Amino acid sequence: MTATSTPPSTSSPYAELKAPTTARRLLTAPTTGPLVALLLACVFFSFSTDQFFTGGNFSLIVQQVMVVGTLAIGQTLIILTAGIDLSCGAVMAFGSIMIAKMAAEGSLPPLVAIALGIAVCGGFGLLNGLLVQKIPLPPFIVTLGMLNVAFALTHIYSEEQTVTNLPGPLTALGQTFPLGNTDITYGSLVTIALFLLLAYALSSTGWGRHVYALGNSQEAARLNGIRTSRLTIGVYTVAGLLYGIAALLLISRTGVGDPQAGQTDNLDSITAVVLGGTSLFGGRGSVLGTFIGVLIVGVFRNGLQLMGVASIYQTLITGVLVILAVTVDQISRKKAR
């Protein structure tokens, strides 16, 4: 990310004449706006503070967004189907307490505890999906209920106690390895790998195309032979499994099992999805956009902190950016028509 890199050929009027479709696609691609905003923010902070533009700091930012980022992948999948998940942070908190407690106080080997924790989170997702699809109920209501259920279970199961003295394998993903003179956290790589994997699945597999079709119109998708019921339940389950991985990342990052964790992560993940240009009405967006979205949040938080700006202004700016992002989405939708 450098200040000098020029945006793709859209700036040239000739390019537009020769290849109007490409230019138009670039201009209206939902990730273009967020990417430009992210780059501009990086340029701004690089000029504003000496400590920003360093490998160590970028590694830190990725590390700071890996938990919400992983949650936001699941959130993106659900939002692409025109759903929403308010329970993701609470489900993750339950998963993390389960993993931590079973491994630290139970007699389970750490890897079994991790697998069980991720599976239980997947189970929450499956349950969400079944309720949304089979009864059916609005995703907002189902996941609002599940948010409370998972939150309460977390506090009941943990007995309000933070779990410490975790065995090594639980925090392994929080360890670092040197790359040049920068320390990279293993967990960051897991998050990036998950983003790439889901980006591939969405853009290049039949499953991915079906997810978009479902989000555009469930009825049309069904009439075209897509098994929408199975697909919806599958999407919520995959999201749940991703929350389980986020739970492990959370433990590895903080080194403890914390029953208070994740309380604002549902809204934070939705913020990232929206900032990344994914439409809340479904059928439009990408997980790579979401990755840019979480980075925008992380870059602003880190950059403003380095500049010495009080944290409440970070919240203020995040709010402004969300509204900007939705506005851009709406305008570009109209133009695309």
Partner 1 sequence: MSRTPRLPSALLRAAACTGLAALTLTACGSGSGTDTAGSGSGSVKVGLITKTDTNPFFVKMKEGAEKAAKADGVQLMTAAGKFDGDNAGQVTAIENMVAAGVKGILITPSDSKAIVPAIEKAKAKGVLVIALDTPTEPESAVDALFATDNLKAGELIGEYAKAAMKGKTAKIATLDLAPGVSVGVQRHNGFLKGFGIDDKDPSVVCSQDTGGDQAKGQTAMENCLQKEPGINVVYTINEPAALGAYTALKAKGREKDVLIVSVDGGCTGTQAVKDGKIAATSQQYPLKMAAEGVKAVVTYAKDGKKASGYTDTGVTLITDKAQDGVTSKDTAYGLENCWG
Binding site for partner 1 (CB under 8 A): 33, 36-37, 40-41, 43-44, 47-51, 56-57, 60, 64, 67, 159-162, 164, 250, 253-256, 258, 260-264, 300-302, 304-313, 315-317, 320-321, 324, 328
In the bound complex, what is the minimum distance in angstroms from residue 76's beta carbon to partner 1? 21
Q: Count other Cβ atoms within 10 Å, centred on residue 126.
A: 18
The residue (of 51 and 148) whose beta carbon lies closer to partner 1 is 51
The residue (of 117 and 234) whose beta carbon lies closer to partner 1 is 117
DSSP symbol at 261 = T
The residue to which tokens 């960051």 are assigned? 188
In the bound complex, what is the minimum distance in angstroms from residue 54's beta carbon to partner 1? 8
The residue (of 132 and 249) whose beta carbon lies closer to partner 1 is 249
3-state DSSP: the chain helix, strand, coil percent, rounded to 5? 75, 5, 25
The whole-angstrom separation of Cα 300 and Cα 46 is: 12
The residue (of 22 and 176) whose beta carbon lies closer to partner 1 is 176
Q: How far is CA 6 from the centre of its chain?
A: 28
Instruction: Tell me the DSSP string of 27-45.
Output: HH-TTHHHHHHHHHHHHHH
The whole-angstrom separation of Cα 163 and Cα 175 is: 19
The whole-angstrom separation of Cα 89 and Cα 271 is: 13
The residue (of 179 and 196) whose beta carbon lies closer to partner 1 is 179
Q: Is the dihedral of CA 199, 201, 202, 203 positive or negative?
A: positive
> Shortest CA distance to 186 belongs to which of 15, 63, 36?
63
In the bound complex, what is the minimum distance in angstroms from residue 2's beta carbon to partner 1? 13
The whole-angstrom separation of Cα 150 and Cα 87 is: 8
Q: Count other Cβ atoms within 10 Å, centred on residue 5.
A: 9
In the bound complex, what is the minimum distance in angstroms from residue 130's beta carbon to partner 1? 30
The residue (of 229 and 318) whose beta carbon lies closer to partner 1 is 318
In the bound complex, what is the minimum distance in angstroms from residue 132's beta carbon to partner 1? 28
The residue to which tokens 């003295």 are assigned? 165
In the bound complex, what is the minimum distance in angstroms from residue 170's beta carbon to partner 1? 12
The residue (of 231 and 251) whose beta carbon lies closer to partner 1 is 251
The amino acid that residue 285 corresponds to is: G
The residue (of 233 and 272) whose beta carbon lies closer to partner 1 is 272
The whole-angstrom separation of Cα 27 and Cα 15 is: 13
In the bound complex, what is the minimum distance in angstroms from residue 245's beta carbon to partner 1? 16
In the bound complex, what is the minimum distance in angstroms from residue 323's beta carbon to partner 1? 11
